[in-house]
Structure 1
Amino acid sequence: MNQIEQYSQLIRKYLADQASKEEQELLVGLMDDPVFLQAWEKVWRENSYDAQPATYPDPHRMLENIMADPRITTAASTLQKTTDGHFNLRRSWWQVAAVFLAFCGAVLWGYYNFYTVDRLPKEQLSKVSIVPGSDKAIIILENGKQIDLSLLRADTVLDQGEYLITKDNEGQISYSLKDNLTSINNIVYNTIVTPRGGEYSLKMADGSLVQLNAGSKIKYPVKFDAKLRLVQLEGEAYFEVAKMDNKGKRVPFIVQSGAQKLEVLGTHFNIRSFGDHIVTTLVEGKVKLSFADATLKEQLLTPNDQVIFDQNSKRVKKEQVDPFYSLAWKNGNFAFDNASIEAVMEEVARWYDVEISYQDQLQGQHFSGTISRYENIDKLLKTISFAGGVHFERKGRRIYVLN
């Protein structure tokens, strides 16, 4: 976990009123750290807007404005600016916390009233911090309660009555029944949702592993039925399905994605279901695909088979592929083989949580190559530009694609 994500978790806990006194004191002590300010901006963006605006105010500049506000000057009289532009904090944590809360409110107020893309100079926009995605997700319980998984400490156990949810040292979520229970009276479903710029790993009750990509959602029972294992997927996930038998018979594992149903006859596969296209890539074992439209022929996949199902045109295309490209995301990389620039930038937008605008008519530019998903955004764009025959201009969190 990098430093920005560590700071982000601390800020999330503070804003959720879950931080201890020691953590609050640590947070205040970090307020002149530029990395901490990047983390604050990141958390604010994640939690303030459903639709992300094109740019955001500079936290350093906004802090200076707040320090000049007469309502705060008295309370922060011992907050002194140094020659390098940072601040020395010489007050107890609770006094500075009040300034920090004023800072939070002023940032939101300042955005709505003063800052737009057109008013910010180009050089300032290009410096707006954009960080790669990280482990973050929301779990939605059967009763509708939502839990921010990034706020849970490692080795946390959540008691849900009949079953337990555990977050281990690696951040993975897993399920188990209590010792005195062998079954759950009713089928109980949970849902995990990853935002843009997030991913998460889940171990289901049968031992099956699921790695969920950014902007995705999976609904699953906390305890599977003895006759059928059914999950519902929107977005992209990689599955390693565990074997499960009942009285000597295999219990089927089904993944429902839109108008496609996948039945697992083996173990490892990837499903990508953004928009109208559902792409299923088999790594190991066998799977069978069927479709809501009964006129479409069932597809039996063996290793390295890939099926692309267009839900609009109701067309099914099957071919042999190198699964390396479909699985690169779960291994921390972007990997493309003659992919269109539009397809490449769709991946970038989802992972870095940015907006993409196409300023010119593109002439079929394509890109091939492998890049780390944790690369600096500007270095990533330079690499794509060099190999893909396009140019980029970044203004805050909006990236313009040019010929």
Structure 2
Amino acid sequence: MAFKQIPRRYLELAQKWLEGTATPEEKQEFDDWYRDSQDEELSVPDSRGSSEDEYRSRLLDAIGKEIGKGAAPKIYRLSWPGIAAASVLAGLLALGGWFLFSKESPDSGTEAVAVSTDVLPGTDKATLTLGDGTTIELDSTSSGALSKGAGYVIRKTGGELIYEELKGKEVRVTYNTIRIPRGGQFRLTLPDGSKVWLNSESSLRYPTVFNEKDRVVELKGEGYFEVAKNISEGRSRPFKINVNNSELVEVLGTSFNIMAYANERGIKTTLLEGSVKVDKIGTGISRVLKPGQQSVYTANAGFQIRSDINAYDAISWKDGIISYRDADVPAIMRYLERWYDVKVVYEGEVPKRSFTGGFSRNLPLSQALKVLELNNIHFRFADRQITVLP
């Protein structure tokens, strides 16, 4: 798929917006160009910052701050490319600041929801439980070595936990569990070098050192995995994820996301690179996924393999974006519940609407609700409870 390069002039305007030096006229010029380019496929060069993800996050933060000064967020109508255009989602769409639209026209005259005591977005926080039952609150623990065992050492660096295998040392395998509360997230590097991003209200149980046969971990909630290829005694060691004691996902070296919250509709495994096999435990039923596919398992329908997805939507959370496609109001509100650690209730009939779009996970709750409010979804908010009105 070919993409048109963004003209240098508009990259410079985006950079000035990011740095806070863009004039109102320059912002308007960028807005006008962006809206006129919606039918074209555009690419963002990776020279803008150390990574496209970093560039996108910085732009969203900067534009979110502009919105937070009191101006109503703009509603941008977007064309969503497929998995091959993930780089566009990682850069260009972020330039729009906030993007969300429904199948009905937004109400630009609606006043934003009043949030008397705002709720800040989630942060890096987690609890680590060691094999002997000792617990460590990672968000209040300084970076450095946390624990050392037989054959391994655990280090913390910012919002990441790193396990290092000590070669030549006597090995005694124990199991650790990392738990992410509502309003939290954390990253983890396992002893084999595999990386895991854990979302809010999730947990992962894993050995401190993997055995020679395979690598097995247990997931609840949601996690994005980048599995390292691993060879032992000349053979590849498969990486297996036991999901809620219900599914077994087996891989060798690949990137994928698993969402398995108890209050969501089934278990979703989305593959970005490589291949994975998804087994329904106890049934003998399995499916093999190709990149860009998603398996959805529900008790009523069994396995469904979807290819009509944008795989980046499933992993955008790890890059600081709340992203959704054709999502109904309850689905969006469940996301807000987990990330902002609030409760959602419905007064009367649940609005029957669907939305496609997203916004930065770094925004306070009032700004996130403002986007929905502008699309005719109304709320009351008090005591960390969102009441969705009919």
TM-score (norm 1): 0.65
From 311, 336, 341, give the equivalent of 2:329: 341
How much does 1:402 deviate? 1.0
How much does 1:379 deviate? 1.5
Cα distance in 2, alignment partners of residues 138 and 160 from structure 1: 18
Aligned to 1:361: 349
From 257, 261, 266, give the equivalent of 1:277: 266
Aligned to 2:197: 211
In the alignment, does 2:140 pair up with 1:154?
A: no
Q: Is the 8 A contact 2:160 2:186 kept in 1?
A: yes
Aligned to 1:145: 134
Amino acid at match of 2:118: S
Cα distance in 1, alignment partners of residues 151 and 140 from structure 2: 23
Q: Is the 8 A contact 1:367 1:384 kept in 2?
A: no
In the alignment, does 2:351 pair up with 1:392?
A: no
Amino acid at match of 2:249: L
How much does 1:363 deviate? 4.2
Q: Is the 8 A contact 2:151 2:167 kept in 1?
A: no
Aligned to 1:121: none
Q: Is the 8 A contact 1:126 1:394 kept in 2?
A: yes
From 163, 168, 177, give the equivalent of 1:191: 177
From 209, 217, 232, give the equivalent of 1:231: 217
Aligned to 1:290: 279
Judged with a 3 Å threshold, the aligned counterparts in structure 2 of structure 1 residues 158 and 391 are, in CA distance, closer, same or farther, namely same
Write the mapping of 1:293-312 to structure 2, written as runs, cut at 5 A.
293-294=282-283, 296=285, 298-310=286-298, 312=299
Q: Is the 8 A contact 1:126 1:396 kept in 2?
A: no
How much does 1:353 deviate? 0.2
In the alignment, does 2:352 pair up with 1:352?
A: no
- Alignment RMSD, CA only? 1.7
Greater share of helix residues, 1 or 2?
1
How much does 1:221 deviate? 0.5
Aligned to 1:47: none
How much does 1:128 deviate? 2.2
Cα distance in 2, alignment partners of residues 300 and 140 from structure 1: 33
- Which deviations, in whole Å up to 9, do the C-alpha atoms of 1:223-268 show, x marking residues without a partner? 0011010000000000000011112110010001021100014310
Judged with a 3 Å threshold, the aligned counterparts in structure 2 of structure 1 residues 128 and 300 are, in CA distance, closer, same or farther, namely same
Q: Is the 8 A contact 1:135 1:199 kept in 2?
A: yes
In the alignment, does 2:304 pair up with 1:317?
A: yes
Q: Gaps (5+ residues) in structure 2?
A: 1-113
From 253, 264, 274, give the equivalent of 1:266: 253
Q: Is the 8 A contact 2:145 2:153 kept in 1?
A: no
From 311, 327, 347, give the equivalent of 2:315: 327
Report SS of the residue matched to 1:256: strand
Write the mapping of 1:114-193 to structure 2, written as runs, cut at 5 A.
126-160=115-149, 162-168=151-157, 170-178=158-166, 181=169, 183-185=170-172, 187-193=173-179
User: Matched residue pairs, number?
Assistant: 273
How much does 1:295 deviate? 5.4
Amino acid at match of 1:396: D
How much does 1:157 deviate? 4.0
Cα distance in 1, alignment partners of residues 166 and 252 from structure 2: 30
Cα distance in 1, alignment partners of residues 373 and 350 from structure 2: 13
Judged with a 3 Å threshold, the aligned counterparts in structure 2 of structure 1 residues 147 and 197 are, in CA distance, closer, same or farther, namely same
Cα distance in 2, alignment partners of residues 286 and 379 from structure 1: 38
Report SS of the residue matched to 1:280: strand
How much does 1:161 deviate? 5.1
Q: Is the 8 A contact 2:329 2:351 kept in 1?
A: no
Cα distance in 2, alignment partners of residues 253 and 156 from structure 1: 26
Aligned to 2:51: none
- Which deviations, in whole Å up to 9, do the C-alpha atoms of 1:73-132 show, x marking residues without a partner? xxxxxxxxxxxxxxxxxxxxxxxxxxxxxxxxxxxxxxxxxxxxxxxxxxxx94223111
Cα distance in 1, alignment partners of residues 277 and 342 from structure 2: 36
Cα distance in 2, alignment partners of residues 178 and 319 from structure 1: 42
Q: Is the 8 A contact 2:328 2:353 kept in 1?
A: yes
Amino acid at match of 2:368: L
Amino acid at match of 1:150: D
How much does 1:180 deviate? 5.0
Which consecutive segments of 4 or more residues in structure 1 shift more than 4 A? Answer: none
Cα distance in 1, alignment partners of residues 335 and 353 from structure 2: 16
Cα distance in 1, alignment partners of residues 204 and 215 from structure 2: 13
Report SS of the residue matched to 1:283: strand
Q: Gaps (5+ residues) in structure 1?
A: 1-124
Amino acid at match of 1:344: I
- What percent of counterpart residues are identical? 33
